[in-house]
Amino acid sequence: MNRQTTASTCCYCGVGCGVLIEHDGEQILGVSGDPTHPANFGKLCSKGASLHLTGDLTARALYPELRLGKGLARSRTDWDTALDHAVNVFADTIAEHGPDSVAFYISGQLLTEDYYAFNKLARALVGTNNIDSNSRLCMSSAVVGYKRSLGADAPPCSYEDLELSDCVMIVGSNMAYAHPVLFRRLEEAKSRRPQMKVIVIDPRRTDTCELADLHLAILPGTDVALFHGILHLLLWEDWIDRDFIKAHTEGLAELKNLVRDYTPQMVAQLCGISTEQLQQCAEWIGTSPSFLSLWCMGLNQSTAGSAKNSALINLHLATGQIGKPGAGPFSLTGQPNAMGGRETGSLSNLLPGHREAANPEHRAEVASYWGVEQLPENPGLTAIELFEQVGNGKIKALWIACTNPAQSLPDQNAVREALQACPFVVLQEAFRTTETAPFADLLLPAASWGEKEGTVTNSERRISHVRRAIAAPGEARADWAITVDFAQRLEQRLRPGQSSLFAFNEPAQVFDEYKELTRDRDLDLSGISHALLDRIGPQQWPFPGGALEGTPRLYVDGVFPTASGRARFVADPYRAAKEQRDARFPLTLITGRLRDQWHGMSRTGTAAQLFGHVNEAVLSLHPDELRRHRLQDGDLVSLKSRRGDLIVAVGSDDSVRPGQAFLPMHWGDRFLKGGINTITQPAFDPLSKQPELKHSGVRIEPVQLPWQLFALIEGNVQAHFEALRPLCEAFTYVSLSLTGRERPALLIRAASAVAPDPQLLRDIDQQLGLNEGPVLAYDDPRRSIGKRVRIESGRITAIRLAGETLARHWLQSLWLEGTADEQLRRWLLAPLSTPPGSATSDPSANKTLCNCKNVSQNAVCAGIRRGLDLNGLKQELGCGTQCGSCVPEIKRLLAATAQPIAVTS
């Protein structure tokens, strides 16, 4: 077939970039940025640009699988059997225990049409509000913040405001990694207008700080105190907009009383910054012609998430910095369709069209539109509560779609127990490899990126048409279609003889039904249709019927969707987080994102080149902290919290302050035994119910795990992963990753206190192809040391070291170079295990900075030593010339060798 191009969107972050998918009708061959898409104008980041390299078919769920009893294995079945079985279990459970004994846990990565279908299924057909989404872990504090302060859940800004602003404050967001293409836009704007001020507020010195004129490394969780301290100064210095306050707001008097106490000295001390920094920050906010704030999980994922959001919005109201170009409180959404979930009412407390499930009028409106008598009154469970109720047996049938709760929810020990105990778990997934998959009694294969059609809304309220390029593999089906098929079958049990609530044949029909529920509401998008988006491109809501274009900015007239039409100052005091570091748990563990991985890595974890930047789980600690604990880079430690523990390697990193530690959120139990959310806490914000995923009190303890294993096997990565990971369960520490670009390989590191049963090693060797064939082996059973290397056509293709693994870096380098020389043979057949020569440095420590051009950190550093500046490096090495995701890091290296950054804490 001919090569074709289909315009669609990237399935990762909330920037919502347009992509052009190159394919031949059957396979996706390449991807590039869509130059006409207003979110990215042709740019993509390292993740978007490598989309076509991910999604290994061998990792995909391809057909339905059903388990007919706990303890049995799942086996392949057909769609009819699968869905009829699910209908029987759901209908019986509802009949016996009522509609609130079932629940749906869905995802901000579903399309709007998928979301709507699920929501209607839960509320109109099943009759429960037990439908919540992973957006509860992500955006729910922003939802509360916008609604409390401004009256509706609507980010009022546009991406172009980043370019137009005079002062941009980035708080609790590592945009350089998490919203890279927007960060590119900001970088360019700042290079055009260097007088633009950029403030970053983050406990860590992230790559985002490369753009900062001021970095406030506040102590974790102290944002509310900081914002109140800033407001205190704004009031004191009279850097406020009295006219705006008078005409368009209410509640300042009460807030003034509160922030009077937030003196610069007290705030500086609480936040761990200097009063000069605080003063500077307030001055830029108060005196810049326009002020924009961007925030993400550093604010939302907190037991004070709602208070943090409102305290930040207070600053915009006090300065009148909203509803005009370059200004406003702009929450960055995490997932590609976090917004669509909010619009379609897919959190337990919401209903479609920005309505409230607790509001009887709203329920009546939606019920009448749907043609059902009523909608359920009982409040629905939110994510954390939902899994608690699964754990204590109240939820007896759970439907999970497009999310991986056995990786991403906090307090994993409890979550996995709950999933294990749940009588019936349905999992609608694109990949069968996830941590949640083993708990599924019914696995339904879902179509994924490039294979499905519908709409998504990005951070700036812009709706894009997501188009299908190729057919889904195997028997996988689009999410909306699975949901609608199930609902139609369930209707026959629950409302026999009545006309269908789910008479949908294509996603455009779902959209058309949904959009009427937004008519005349703040988000009115009733003028949009799939066909219109095809004609005029992606559009920002509100977009009422008859509109010719979308709405770039909200509240330009100063009228807010509250009862009085005025925005509200919210006076929540600063409250210290409940779980503070203390004598028993003296470190604060912060979790967050890496540049090239996406969440639980079901997709990004299939592409070896996405491990080039960071190749395994490392707990980052300040060098002083390492010294205090007498630890070296790379040592294994036991990381403990009140909820669990985990063995992980430590790394020295001075971007983390002493007293803190950082661990990326991505490593679930598959890649790091235990998974990082074993440590995190389920405590949540009282209003938004969003859990405190960012901080936990932890301690590290030394471990003695002298027996070590290192293995590398080239090719068939997924198959080897699946065969080897279960065998590794016997070890105390297990870490898996991929390596290589052209010749991907699986890497395993493991450690234990004592040598394992020799049979286990033989089983591992069997999987590694090291029991026979062209294998060189040396075993010293007395010392429990063994080494095996497979050499084919003069190249290493598999390695296994057991006992001690000193030679691993050397062997990995030889594998990478594709050489197998005499020296290797001599070393292999000798009792000595230390590698010859000096080539013992870790090849993966030489990380790939630039994924597009495959340029390593060593090459960049060498260039810097030769005197190259950023442009010189770009010209000579090519790094940073394509997606630009590596530019902040290159700048940091340049700064480190030239002179320290001017302003940091």
Binding site for ligand MGD (CB under 6 A): 13, 47, 107, 109, 134, 137-138, 171-174, 177-178, 201-204, 206, 220-221, 223, 296-298, 301, 334-335, 401-404, 407-408, 428-431, 434, 446, 448, 452, 479, 590-593, 595, 597-600, 602-603, 665, 676-677, 680, 693-694
> Closest CB to Mo ion belongs to which residue?
334
What 8-state DSSP symbol labels residue 581?
-
In the beta sheet, which residues pair with residue 357? Answer: none
Token pair of 578 as six digits: 């409940």
Closest distance of CB 596 from ligand MGD, Å: 6
Taking CB under 6 A as the rule, does residue 180 contact ligand SF4? yes
Taking CB under 5 A as the rule, does residue 376 contact Mo ion? no
Nearer to ligand SF4, 14 or 220 (CB): 14
Please report, as a single letter, which amino acid is at residue 815: W
Closest to 225 in 3D by CA, of 260, 185, 270: 270
Q: Rounded to 10 degrees, what is the CA torsion of 164, 167, 172, 177?
A: 50
Taking CB under 5 A as the rule, does residue 11 contact Mo ion? no
Binds ligand SF4 (CB under 6 A): choice among 7, 13, 196, 440: 13
Residue 40: which of ligand SF4, ligand MGD, Mo ion, none does it interact with, CB under 5 to 8 A by kind? ligand SF4
Residue 221: which of ligand MGD, Mo ion, ligand SF4, none does it interact with, CB under 5 to 8 A by kind? ligand MGD
Closest distance of CB 301 from ligand MGD, Å: 6
Nearer to Mo ion, 50 or 690 (CB): 690
- CA separation for the pair 694, 301 (Å, rounded): 6
Tell which phi-psi region holds residue 197, choosing left (phi > 0), alpha (psi between -120 and 50) or beta: beta
Nearer to ligand SF4, 16 or 605 (CB): 16
Token pair of 178 as six digits: 């998490």
Nearer to ligand SF4, 600 or 691 (CB): 600
Nearer to ligand MGD, 551 or 620 (CB): 620
Nearer to ligand SF4, 336 or 863 (CB): 336
In the beta sheet, which residues pair with residue 707? Answer: 752
Taking CB under 5 A as the rule, does residue 259 contact Mo ion? no
Closest distance of CB 47 from ligand SF4, Å: 4
- Going by their DSSP bridges, the two strands 695-702 and 636-640 should be labelled as antiparallel
Helix, strand or coil for residue 181?
helix
Binds ligand SF4 (CB under 6 A): choice among 7, 8, 12, 787: 12
Please report, as a single letter, which amino acid is at residue 884: G
Residue 401: which of Mo ion, ligand MGD, ligand SF4, none does it interact with, CB under 5 to 8 A by kind? ligand MGD
Taking CB under 6 A as the rule, does residue 17 contact ligand SF4? yes
Closest distance of CB 145 from ligand MGD, Å: 14
Closest distance of CB 26 from ligand SF4, Å: 24
Helix, strand or coil for residue 535?
helix
Q: What are phi and psi of 843, to 5 degrees?
A: -65, -30
Task: Using alpha carbons only, give the angle 571, 575, 581 rounded to the nearest 5 degrees.
Answer: 160
Closest distance of CB 719 from ligand MGD, Å: 18
By CB under 6 A, the count of residues binding ligand SF4 is 14
Nearer to ligand SF4, 180 or 203 (CB): 180
Helix-helix angle 870-877:887-897, to 10 degrees? 120
Nearer to ligand SF4, 45 or 687 (CB): 45
- CA separation for the pair 470, 779 (Å, rounded): 51
Nearer to ligand SF4, 139 or 219 (CB): 139
Nearer to ligand SF4, 44 or 189 (CB): 44
Closest distance of CB 504 from ligand MGD, Å: 17
Nearer to ligand MGD, 111 or 820 (CB): 111
Residue 849: which of ligand MGD, ligand SF4, Mo ion, none does it interact with, CB under 5 to 8 A by kind? none
Outline where 212-296 has alpha helix (H).
Answer: 223-236, 242-248, 252-259, 264-271, 275-287
Residue 600: which of Mo ion, ligand SF4, ligand MGD, none does it interact with, CB under 5 to 8 A by kind? ligand MGD
Closest distance of CB 216 from ligand MGD, Å: 8
- Going by their DSSP bridges, the two strands 397-401 and 424-429 should be labelled as parallel
DSSP string, 636-647: EEEEE-SS-EEE
Q: Which residues of 569-604 are buried (b: 16+ CB within 10 A; e: fewer)?
A: bbbbebeebebebeeebebbbbbbbbbbbbbbbbbb
Taking CB under 6 A as the rule, does residue 323 contact ligand SF4? no
Taking CB under 6 A as the rule, does residue 181 contact ligand SF4? yes
- Going by their DSSP bridges, the two strands 618-621 and 645-652 should be labelled as parallel
Token pair of 467 as six digits: 């188009």
Helix-helix angle 112-120:507-515, to 10 degrees? 70
Residue 17: which of ligand MGD, ligand SF4, Mo ion, none does it interact with, CB under 5 to 8 A by kind? ligand SF4
Taking CB under 6 A as the rule, does residue 10 contact ligand SF4? yes
The answer to whether 178 touches 208, Cβ cutoff 8 Å, is no
> Closest CB to ligand SF4 belongs to which residue?
48
Closest distance of CB 157 from ligand MGD, Å: 17
* Interactions with ligand SF4, residue window 35-74 (CB under 6 A): 40, 44-45, 47-48
End-to-end, the C-alpha distance of the chain in Å comes to 58
Nearer to ligand MGD, 220 or 561 (CB): 220
Binds Mo ion (CB under 5 A): choice among 334, 682, 744, 786: 334
Q: Rounded to 10 degrees, what is the CA torsion of 271, 277, 279, 284?
A: -120
- CA separation for the pair 682, 414 (Å, rounded): 10
Residue 181: which of ligand SF4, Mo ion, ligand MGD, none does it interact with, CB under 5 to 8 A by kind? ligand SF4
Closest distance of CB 9 from ligand SF4, Å: 7
Closest to 889 in 3D by CA, of 841, 854, 857: 857
Closest distance of CB 44 from ligand SF4, Å: 4
Among 32-40, 136-144, 722-730, 858-866, the segment contacting Mo ion (CB under 5 A): 136-144
Closest distance of CB 572 from ligand MGD, Å: 15
Task: Using alpha carbons only, give the angle 756, 762, 767 rounded to the nearest 5 degrees.
Answer: 115
Please report, as a single letter, which amino acid is at residue 145: G
Closest to 665 in 3D by CA, of 577, 571, 598, 587: 598
Residue 15: which of Mo ion, ligand SF4, ligand MGD, none does it interact with, CB under 5 to 8 A by kind? ligand SF4
Taking CB under 6 A as the rule, does residue 339 contact ligand SF4? no
Closest to 650 in 3D by CA, of 682, 678, 668, 628: 628
CA distances from 451 to 183, 446, 477 (A): 28, 9, 9
Closest distance of CB 448 from ligand MGD, Å: 4
Token pair of 262 as six digits: 């937030």
Closest distance of CB 114 from ligand MGD, Å: 8
Nearer to ligand SF4, 177 or 431 (CB): 177
Query: What's the per-residue H, E or C state across 452-493?
Result: CCEEEECCCCEEEEECCCCCCCCCCECHHHHHHHHHHHHHHH
- Going by their DSSP bridges, the two strands 587-592 and 539-540 should be labelled as unpaired
The answer to whether 641 touches 680, Cβ cutoff 8 Å, is yes
Among 137-145, 175-183, 557-565, 819-827, the segment contacting Mo ion (CB under 5 A): 137-145
Residue 680: which of ligand MGD, Mo ion, ligand SF4, none does it interact with, CB under 5 to 8 A by kind? ligand MGD
Taking CB under 5 A as the rule, does residue 138 contact Mo ion? yes
Element (H, E) at 385: helix 383-391
Give contact residues for Mo ion (rule: CB under 5 A): 138, 334
**Residues engaged in binding ligand SF4 (CB under 6 A):** 10, 12-13, 15-17, 40, 44-45, 47-48, 179-181
